[in-house]
Chains A and B, each alone.
Chain A
């Protein structure tokens, strides 16, 4: 290409009018041109790219900013999940941490990790959404996908839209208890995630989230479930309607004699 052709293509490139092949050819020709020509073409392209004078004077909706930030977060997640999935397909240690040899079993642990972040109210993305960190931590992206698969699409809200989530912590009713309970509540969807750490997994005991009455006596049962892991058990709660002031408790339920024992309580504040 001669200089005029380069400038012509630079203009078309600036306007997005070249297809990928043409754009590549133009850039190759530009790279191969003498420095003085290249500078002239680049300057011309920069000058012509600025067509702000032709743009309408309109303003975006103020909410667009948040939508953009969420879109970027989701794209970062999608990329990371895709990377993790590729590694899964290859049945190899995650490529992003090859040198440290992270294996499938460790990735399974990651699911617990992300769920734990949910459980204990860690605003995961607020504090860790750094692309590099994501890769460093391997991480959590596969785990996030696992959380979405396991607990439904709303778990994405818990991670990506923490401002929509009320995180309700329970206080243990017994001294030296290892039980840790957090309920994450998406009011607008009527969905909650009850995250329980330190529950014993036996065939004879289940657990129940119950409402306490005004005398702190066990009232209606909201959900009863078996612990799937002593590390972390997450229970998705549907049609949940919480109000400030409600008293909730997690109780153990003996399947042998039906006795119920208070493990942790909380007063809802949303």
Chain B
């Protein structure tokens, strides 16, 4: 896995170059984060072509918002990941390419057995295999919420409506799920 050690000075210099319009800086930014952004897009988007389109859009967004980068607030890698994830979720929602919407809709709160069957189907896609292994370890509500929100691009409100659950509960469930997923991912990451 590519590591992105924090070097605040270099981060700031790179973003300052981008903000000032230095064309070569976008190449440098890509060299540093292109693989990371692509992996995020590949995991989220329905096809490789969609992932590539999303990567291009994300770098355009990075270029346009470079002047908003605040090194005191986050390391550059964190900022890139935040912006990328927001864009990917937006894109997923915009394009209505919710991950197998029909299947998710069918599973939406019908029977407790639906989530495992949806997982089984998703497991056939290598992009989701590692994530789903971790998702399986979550309580059922968290599984449902994560699949819909993180992989399906649904809004919190939509999830609440589909699952007939208050939005506050959905938020808490998703937040806890993400914390757990992160912890498990760290535990299982090769050292």
CB within 8 Å of B: which residues of A?
Answer: 7-9, 11-19, 22, 42, 45-61, 64-65, 67-69, 71-73, 75-76, 79, 125, 129-134
Give chain A residues whose Cβ lies under 8 Å from the Cβ of B189: 53
Q: Is the CB of A60 within 8 A of B55?
A: yes
Identify whether the interface residues of B are mostly helix, strand, loop, or mixed.
Answer: helix
Q: Is the CB of B23 within 8 A of A52?
A: no
Give chain A residues whose Cβ lies under 8 Å from the Cβ of B179: 11, 48
CB-CB nearest 5 A-B residue pairs: A131-B21, A53-B185, A130-B21, A16-B86, A16-B89
* B101 interface contact, C-beta 8 A: no
Q: Inter-chain contact count A-B, CB under 8 Å?
A: 160
Q: Is the CB of B35 within 8 A of A60?
A: yes
Q: A46-B75, A129-B23 are in contact. Are A52 and B86 (CB under 8 A)?
A: no
Number of interface residues of B (CB under 8 A): 60
Q: A12-B156, A54-B131, A68-B26 are in contact. Are A42 and B73 (CB under 8 A)?
A: yes
Bound: A58/B81 CA distance, A:
17
CB within 8 Å of A: which residues of B?
Answer: 1-2, 20-23, 26-27, 30-31, 34-36, 38-40, 42-43, 52, 55-57, 59-60, 63-64, 73-75, 77-78, 81-82, 85-90, 126-127, 130-131, 134, 149-150, 155-156, 171-172, 174-175, 178-179, 181-182, 185-186, 188-189
Given contacts A13-B82, A56-B126, list 15 more A-B pairs with CB under 8 A. Answer: A11-B175, A14-B81, A16-B85, A42-B74, A45-B78, A46-B75, A48-B179, A53-B186, A54-B130, A57-B1, A60-B34, A71-B60, A72-B59, A72-B60, A130-B20
